[in-house]
Amino acid sequence: MFRRLNSIIWLLGLALMLLISACAPAVTPTLVPTASPTNQPTAAPLMLTDGLSHTIQLAAPPQRIISLAPSNTELVFAIGAGAQLIGREALSDYPAEAARVTSIGSTYDKLNTEAIVALKPDLILAAEITNPDQVKTLQGLGLTVYWLPNPKTYDDLYQNINTVGQITGQIDGAQKLIDALKTRFATVIDKVKGAATRPTVFYEVDGTDPTKPWTSGPGTFLDTVITLAGGQNVGRVLKDPFGQISSEELIKQNPDIIILGDTLYGVTIDSISQRAGWKSIAAVKNKAIYSFDDNLVSRPGPRLLDGLEQMAKLLHPELFK
User: Model confidence over 119-145: pLDDT tens digits?
Assistant: 999 999 999 999 999 999 999 999 999
Cβ–Cβ < 8 Å for 27, 315: no
DSSP-derived 3-state class of residue 116: helix
> pLDDT at residue 45 above 60?
yes
29 band by pLDDT with thresholds 50, 70 and 90? very low
* Residues in CB range of 208: below 8 A, 6 or more apart: 4, 214, 265
CB atoms within 10 A of CB 118: 12
Average pLDDT over residues 158-166: 97
pLDDT tens-digit readout, 202-252: 999 999 999 999 999 998 999 999 999 999 999 999 999 999 999 999 999
Can you tell me the mean pLDDT for 290-319? Answer: 97
pLDDT of residue 108: 84
Q: What is the mean pLDDT of the chain?
A: 89
pTM of the model: 0.85
Q: Is the pLDDT of residue 49 over 80?
A: yes
Distance of alpha carbon 245 from alpha carbon 198, whole angstroms: 21
The region of weakest confidence among 36-45, 67-76, 277-286, 288-297 is 36-45
Does position 17 have pLDDT exceeding 50, yes or no? no
In the predicted model, is pLDDT for residue 109 greater than 70?
A: yes
Domains of the chain: 33-188 (3.40.50.1980), 194-319 (3.40.50.1980)
Which amino acid type is present at position 117?
A: V
Res 5 pLDDT > 50: no
Give the helix/strand (H/E) hosting 52: none
Amino acid identity, residue 249? E
Q: Is 61 helix (H, G, I), strand (E, B) or coil?
A: coil
pLDDT over threshold 90, residue 39: no
Peptide bond into 25 cis (omega under 30): no
% pLDDT > 90, the chain: 83
Distances in Å between the alpha carbon of 195 and those of 41, 91, 317? 44, 37, 10
Give per-residue burial for 273-298: e unless 16+ CB within 10 Å, then b: eebeebeebebbeeebbbebebbbbb
Q: Percentage of the chain with pLDDT > 70? A: 86
Confidence bin at 44 (pLDDT 50/70/90): low
Terminal Cα-to-Cα distance of the chain (whole angstroms): 37
DSSP state of 150: P
Confidence of residue 321 (pLDDT cuts 50, 70, 90): confident
Residue 268 DSSP code: -
Task: Evaluate if residue 11 carries a pLDDT over 60.
Answer: no
Confidence check: pLDDT of 21 > 60: no
What is the residue-wise DSSP string for 158-198?
HHHHHHHHHHHT-HHHHHHHHHHHHHHHHHHHHHHTT-S--
CB atoms within 10 A of CB 122: 17
Per the rule left: phi > 0, alpha: psi between -120 and 50, beta: everything else, 225 is: alpha
pLDDT in tens, 170-198: 999 999 999 999 999 999 999 999 999 99
Q: What is the pLDDT of residue 12?
A: 46
Q: What is the CA radius of gyration of the chain?
A: 20
Please compute the mean of the pLDDT values over residues 261-278 and round it to a whole number.
Answer: 94
Question: What letter would DSSP give residue 294?
Answer: T
